[in-house]
Every structure is written in C-alpha cells, then in structure tokens.
A and B are shown apart, each in its own frame.
Chain A
Amino acid sequence: MGLFEIKNLTYFYPDREKPALDKVNLQVEEGEFIFLIGASGCGKSSLLRAMAGLLPDYYGGKIGGGVHYSGSSLGKWDKNQLAREVGMIFQDPEKQIVMTGVKQEIAFGLENINIPYQEMRRRIAEVLALFGISSLKDENTFHLSGGQKQKVVLASVLAMHPKVLLLDEPTSQLDPLAAQEFLNYVQRLNMEWGLTVILVEQRIDRCFHLADRIIFMEDGKVLHSETPRKTVEWAAEKHPQYIPPVSQFFSKWRRENIPLTIKEGRAVLNGMAVKEWINPYKEERNSIEATGNAIEILKLSNVYTTYNKKDFVLKKVNLHLWKNSITVILGENGAGKSTLLKTIVGLLKSVKGKIEYRGKDITHLKPEKIAAHIGYLSQNPNDYLFHDTVEEEIFFNLKVRGEKDDKRVEKILDLLKLKDKRKMNPRDLSGGERQRVALGTVLVTNPEILLLDEPTRGLDVVLKDELGETLQVIKHQGTSILMVTHDVEFAAEISDSVMIMAEGEIIADGKKREVLANSLYYAPQINRLFKGINDQVLNIEESIQVINKIIEQAAIG
C-alpha cells in the first residue's frame, strides 16, 4: 500500500462549475520523487493542496472521492499531526513568512505543533546548519534576498520533520542561481533523507531528470504517470513543450532511449558526429543593422545612476536600440538590469550622461511624459490592476491622456487573446492572464518602445511560447522591445541582440549568437549540447538543421 492513496478525487472550488480535479486516481510510494507537469490551471496546485489537507478546509468548495495518507483518510487526521507528516511550500516566499526574525520563522511551525523549547533549539540549529544559513539566524526576514527567504521557508517546514514535502513552484520567484541551489537541496532531501517529494515546477530542464516519476495533468485529470524516460517518449509528439530541450531535439529523429540530460545527449552525438565546422547561420549579415538601414530609436550615452549619491548602480552605460528589434538584457541579480529600465522611463534620474529618444534628449523628462513613447511593464502585474473589468483597466491608459478609444482596446484584447475575459475582474484571472492585461495597458497607447522586466517569471512553457509569439507580432507592428530576463532559453528564441550586465556595466553587447553561443553561463541547453560540434546552434530548429547535415555527410562518406 502506498503512502498516499488517492481515489476518484474530484474537487470544485466555490462558485465554479468546472472541477479543478476530476476523478484523480494516484498512488505515491514512500521515498518517491514525483514531478508534476501540465499547463497552468490543469490542477497541479489543487492536487498538492488536497494532499496537504487544505482542500476543502481552507478554500471551501465541494470534494468527492478520497485522499488517504498512511492508510487513513485525510479527513480523519488531526491537523496538528498531519502538519508533522506533510509539509508544503508555496510559490512566493514573501507570502509565507510570518515572523520578522529568521530563527523565529523556523520556530513558528514548531511552536504550532507544541514542540518543547529545548527540542526546538536543537531542531533550529540543525536546519540552519543543513541549509548553510546559520549566519542569517539573527537577520530580519525583510532584509533577505528571495533565495534566502525561500531557504528559510524550507528550513521552517523541514524543522517539523515531515515525511512528505509538497512543493508548489517554489523557485518561480527566484533567479536561476538561487533556484538551482534550492532544487539541489530538494534533491538531497530526497536522496539522503528519503523524504517523499512531490514537486510542481516550471523549470522542466532542471527537474525532469531528478524525478522517479513524472505525472502529466490536463483539465484536472492525470493523463500519464510514468518514469521520466517513458514520459519523454510519450510526450514527444503530443506535448513536446513539457520535456527538456535536449529531449525535444532527440525526439525529432528517434523514438526510443531519448536522452534526458546534456551528458546523455552528448554521448549519443559523440558516437555518430562528424566533428567538422558547419555554419549554416549567415542570416545576421543581412540584418537591419548590418544593411545600414537601421533606425536608432533609443540611445544611452555614458549614463550613470545612483540611489545613495555615493555608489553608482549604473556605470557608463552605452546602449543603442534599433527600430523593429528585440534586445534582451541578461545578468545576475543586482547587476543593474531593472535599474537601467527604470532610468530609461524616468523613474530614476541619471546623474550623468544622456538618454535620447529619436535624437531628442529625454534625460530629465518626467515619467508621465516619457510614457507617451516608452511603455514599461514591471515584474509584478498586480501593481497595474485596480479596475473592475479588464477592458476598463486597458482603457485607463488612454483615459488619463484624454484620448478616445478608437477601437484600440478592442485590438489589444484581440492581440492578447483576452476578448472572452473583457468583462471579468482582472484580479480574478490567472497569473499569465494578469500579465497579459498589464501588457495590454502598456500597449494600448501604441508605444514605440516597450521595456519588459522579467516578463517570463512564473509563466509555464505554453504561456511563455504565447508571450514570445505576441512579442514577435508587436515587433513586426513597429515596436522596439528591450527586455530584462533570466531566461536564457527564451532570450535565445526570440531576441535579435543580447546584452550582458554585471556590476552596473554592460560587459557584452552584440547579436544574440555572438553573445550567447559558447558562453559558459548564458549558453542555452541546445548550445551546450552541440559544443564542439557546432558552437553556433542556439535552439532546436537550428540543431535539427545541423544534425540533418551531419547525417547527410555521414551517408555520403
């Protein structure tokens, strides 16, 4: 008998006609590492909540079927006892931390389950050491970085000594380094302590190979539940976006033994590759900039910005943005990427240097004046939403300028696939939809430049693809895009140019292939797979061209 036995579980959120979970049957064995995948709203988070005993206790709604843990129905479990057995971690660390001190936050769960003081001290010291955060023990949680906060949350749950860890997109708000570190801890907890882990995560390439079993969900149902390798074979045709890029590539030309990691992929390629230089990527020479017809729409010359009048957050930044192009800025946290966007839109004033829009100096213009030409989408779409309906929210940007609708709202709703949501309250929409509404508010004024700050944060693969397509449409309609992101794969897919920032300076600037290909840290997965075979390959389409050529040459040879 499994640790969790889920039989015919059906659940409706209050006032919803469609079930969030639809006759789910599942068995989870002790010590298993399960990776739950599927589109946004498919029921992954609801399933985790049901397993944590939060459905319907916290949300209300109607539930059918049953969830059994250790042989007893969850309904019969004492809540206090259940929390000792099953720990759950959510997306945003800021929305989970209750206390102001790190030690106190870890103690919070222990106090709730009535652990005596001496035992509490021991457990706190242990988890602090386990996660390497002993130096933070006296810090105020407000001052911690996102990654540190999420580690504190994990430590707080782990201190309760649970047997099961349920993780609902725990790294969605973290930068890649912090996310990787967090996932490494989760893997260790499973491997070394035998914790049962059930993980929902958007970083498919980072998690797929860690799991013992992959569960694919769609419309509240479990469609597939198998080992990673069998899942790759199953998903290759119908749901390729849910498998790692390496597997996606290999699945195009083989059906069995599809590699899951770069290591496995390179072993396959090394066995058959003709290692000679193939360079089918000459198209950039014909790019707008290279032909001399490029229109420079934004120019930054020697821009310096500071928060405290002492240390410069931006130093000697020079930037050129060309019409009808997408430029991506990559860099570590604290490199100055978001500061750069805020400086361009006038929220921060540069203390030195010049910012020109179409040759006109806008360095000292107020944000509301700059907003007429440059749209800015921040990391948090919730900051945009306060109207009762989606269309009112989008129209607001025209209203404040005293402009008429002229069917522009209609066009934006159409472009962003929000027509059926137009009368809905934006706060009732999902994360991806909220982001589209926020983007709509920016686009409705037809800005010539669009600045995006981490637009893919928290989006699943499908939504990310849709965003990429939308950005390409906007670009072809005449808008130039400058985007900050941590998502190298997304950057490789949609950008024309890439910049890398470090310590407030732009340290690399060029065509995407010049910057990304052969980079140690910023190379996409496919590029790393082809390292030494063709260093210029950035995405799956290009890699297929290369592999076809290799096969062709091998056949001729």
Chain B
Amino acid sequence: MYVFERKEIFFQTLHPVTLLLYILIMMIGTILTTNPFILMGFMTAVVFALIVAKSFKTWIRSLRMYGYMVIMLMTINLFINNMGATVLWVGPVVPVFGRISISLEAIIFGLVMGLRLFIIYSLFIFYNRVMDPDKALSVFSKVFPKSALLVALTTKTIPYMSQQLQSASEIQQCRGLQYYTGNHISRIKNRLPLIKVLLFSSLEDSFNLGESMQARAYGSGPRSCYYPLSFGGRDILVSFSSTMALLALVWSRMLGWTEITFYPKLGTSLTSKQHLYMIIVIGIFMILPVLVAWGWEKWDYLKLKI
C-alpha cells in the first residue's frame, strides 16, 4: 500500500518546481522519443534515481504488474501489425485480423514501446516517492489551485481507498460472494460491487472533506506558504541539468535524431558522430542530478555545501 514517507532523501529536499521540471523533462522526452539509445539513457537515469531515492525494492516488487501489461501490449502488436518487411513467421488467416505474420520490425517496435512504458511507469513510482504532496499543494496551489488540490488529494486518498477496498471486500465475502472460488468470469463479476462501494464512499468522503476545507477558508483568498522555499545550490544544479537536457532534446528533435522509422524497414538509430555526442550529452544531463544525489548522500561536505 502506498503511503508517502518523509525521509532523508536528496530529491525530497528539492524545491517542488525543480523536482517537477526534472521529472517532466524525462517524461516528455520519453513520450517524444523513439530512439532506443536516448530511451536507454532515460532508463539508466530513472533506475539510478530510484536506487538513490531508496525505493528500488518497491519498484522491483511492482514490476510484475507492469510486466504483464507490457507483454500483453507487445503480443497484441506482434499479431495485429503486418507492416514489417522482414517477416520471420507466417501463420494462418484469422477473421478480422487477416493473415497473422510476425516481423522483426514489429518485435523491435514492441520492445521500444515496452521500454517507453517502463520509463514512464518508473517515473511515476519515483514521483510518488520523492514529491511531497503537502509541499506540492502549498507551492502549486498559488498557480494551479484546482489541479494542485486534485493531485494532493489523490496522493493522500490512495492508502485510505486501499484500506476501504480491503474492508468492503471482506464484507462482500461475508455476504456470500465468492472471490477466490468459481470461474474467472464469476470472480470478476463478484468484484463489481466493490467498485460501486468504493465509488459511492469516495464521493461521500470527498463531499465531507470539501466541507471541512471550506470551513477552514480554503479558496477564500490569497494563501501563504508553510515552506520557506528558496532556490538553493542543489535546485540550481538540478534545474540547470534539466534545462540543458531539454535544450539538447529540442535540438535533436529539430535534426530528427530523436526518432527512428520502424516500418516497413528499420531505420538507423545512430546517423553520425554528432548524433552519438548528442545522445551522450542528453544522458549525462539526465544522470547528473542522480550523481549529485548520490554524492549528497555519501559526502557530508557536499551536503553542507549545496
């Protein structure tokens, strides 16, 4: 069950704007890029960031669910996509889908898509671990009051909903519903009431929470901020790094280096030496904040200085 924990983690000490910038650039970069080398740079950065944020184990544990999802997507793509030129296997004709064929391009496309999903999924886990929802609400509610509130409350509500799901599931079992016996369809059908209970209860709870917030003057005028937030050395370092990575990404995109063609034949991932240097630059600027975080953790001098 996810509950936000405040710990001595470098990324938690950053200004929410810095942190959001770093995560957003990686996320937007992943969405806009199909070049596997750039994606691998992002992947390395996010995996090391998770390790430095002490959430590697949580991430590994949650990968099972992600794994099922990616395998399913890759399999579907493999069978319904007939655009690849390098055909490896030709199967029978299936109604609606036509002739089933598996091509090298479809396999590579599936792997790249899987990698992108992997990075985005890992970024969400990283965000949940390091972004203090209270800090985010305090800071972002000045600019985006509704969105900030929505994100903060969602984060806060997850553990409560998980608890509620558990108790509602117990109750429905005691009413005679079978969750663990019977066929798959009846099990899924028997779980539908849980979603209804959860939805109704969440709506009621939100109404009560809103009332309490109104009674405490939320949204009634200008807000002050509990956090003495100022841009420190670490924020400047991480923001600089993120901005440089962003500029490098924009430049690469303008030159067409962030994408490769998959169909009908695979394009080249590396077109020139300059292309390689640019990929290295993007990778370095994405990994630099992780290195600083690691140094901050290990080296007291750095902790004092930034």
Closest to B159 in A: A142
Asked whether B193 is an interface residue with its Cβ less than 8 Å from the other chain, the reply is: yes
- Asked if A382 and B197 make an inter-chain contact with CB atoms under 8 angstroms apart, the answer reads yes
> Which residues from 59 to 83 on chain B have a C-beta closer than 8 Å to any C-beta of chain A?
none
As a 0/1 sequence over residues 147 to 183 of chain A, the CB contacts with chain B under 8 angstroms (1 = contact) are 0000001001100100000000000000000000000
- Asked if B217 and A157 make an inter-chain contact with CB atoms under 8 angstroms apart, the answer reads no
Most chain A CB inside 10 Å of its own CB: which residue of B168, B213, B216: B216
- Asked if A112 and B215 make an inter-chain contact with CB atoms under 8 angstroms apart, the answer reads no
**Alpha-carbon distance between A374 and B99 when the two chains are bound, in angstroms:** 57
**Contacts between chains A and B (CB distance < 8 A), count:** 181
Residue numbers in A under 8 Å from B134 (CB-CB)? 99-101, 104
Residue numbers in A under 8 Å from B197 (CB-CB)? 382-386
CB within 8 Å for A385 and B226 given contacts A52-B215, A98-B209, A368-B178:
no
Query: Min CB distance, B267 to chain A, in Å?
Result: 47
As a 0/1 sequence over residues 191 to 230 of chain B, the CB contacts with chain A under 8 angstroms (1 = contact) are 0010011001100110011111111111111111110100
Chain A interface size, under 10 / 10 to 19 / 20 to 34 / 35 or more: 35 or more
Asked whether A56 is an interface residue with its Cβ less than 8 Å from the other chain, the reply is: no
- Asked if A112 and B176 make an inter-chain contact with CB atoms under 8 angstroms apart, the answer reads no
Stretch at the interface among B1-9, B236-244, B249-257: B1-9
> Which residues from 151 to 177 on chain B have a C-beta closer than 8 Å to any C-beta of chain A?
152-153, 155-156, 159-160, 164, 167-168, 170-171, 173-177
Query: Min CB distance, A224 to chain B, in Å?
Result: 28
Q: Is the interface of B mostly helix, strand, loop or mixed?
A: helix
Residue numbers in B under 8 Å from A117 (CB-CB)? 224-226, 228
Residue numbers in A under 8 Å from B183 (CB-CB)? none
Closest to B227 in A: A117
Asked whether B180 is an interface residue with its Cβ less than 8 Å from the other chain, the reply is: yes
- Asked if A99 and B171 make an inter-chain contact with CB atoms under 8 angstroms apart, the answer reads no
- Asked if B220 and A83 make an inter-chain contact with CB atoms under 8 angstroms apart, the answer reads yes
Asked whether A107 is an interface residue with its Cβ less than 8 Å from the other chain, the reply is: yes
CB within 8 Å for A108 and B160 given contacts A376-B174, A382-B201, A401-B176:
no
CB within 8 Å for A101 and B6 given contacts A94-B160, A107-B226, A110-B226:
yes
Closest to B224 in A: A114
CB within 8 Å for A384 and B226 given contacts A109-B216, A156-B216:
no
**Alpha-carbon distance between A88 and B212 when the two chains are bound, in angstroms:** 8
Which of B164, B167, B175 touches A371 (beta carbons < 8 Å)?
B175
**Alpha-carbon distance between A470 and B154 when the two chains are bound, in angstroms:** 41
> Which residues from 302 to 334 on chain A have a C-beta closer than 8 Å to any C-beta of chain B?
none
- Asked if B210 and A58 make an inter-chain contact with CB atoms under 8 angstroms apart, the answer reads yes
CB within 8 Å for A427 and B170 given contacts A99-B156, A104-B226, A397-B175:
no
Asked whether A372 is an interface residue with its Cβ less than 8 Å from the other chain, the reply is: yes
- Asked if A114 and B222 make an inter-chain contact with CB atoms under 8 angstroms apart, the answer reads yes
Asked whether A430 is an interface residue with its Cβ less than 8 Å from the other chain, the reply is: no
Which of A80, A345, A370, A427 touches B220 (beta carbons < 8 Å)?
A80
Residue numbers in A under 8 Å from B175 (CB-CB)? 371, 384, 396-397, 400, 441-442
**Alpha-carbon distance between A90 and B205 when the two chains are bound, in angstroms:** 12
Give me 9 A-to-B residue pairs in the complex whose CB atoms sit less than 8 angstroms apart, sorted by A's number. A58-B211, A79-B221, A80-B217, A90-B208, A104-B226, A109-B217, A112-B220, A347-B174, A367-B174
The chain B residues found within 8 Å of chain A, CB to CB, are 3-6, 132-134, 137-138, 152-153, 155-156, 159-160, 164, 167-168, 170-171, 173-178, 180-181, 193, 196-197, 200-201, 204-205, 208-226, 228
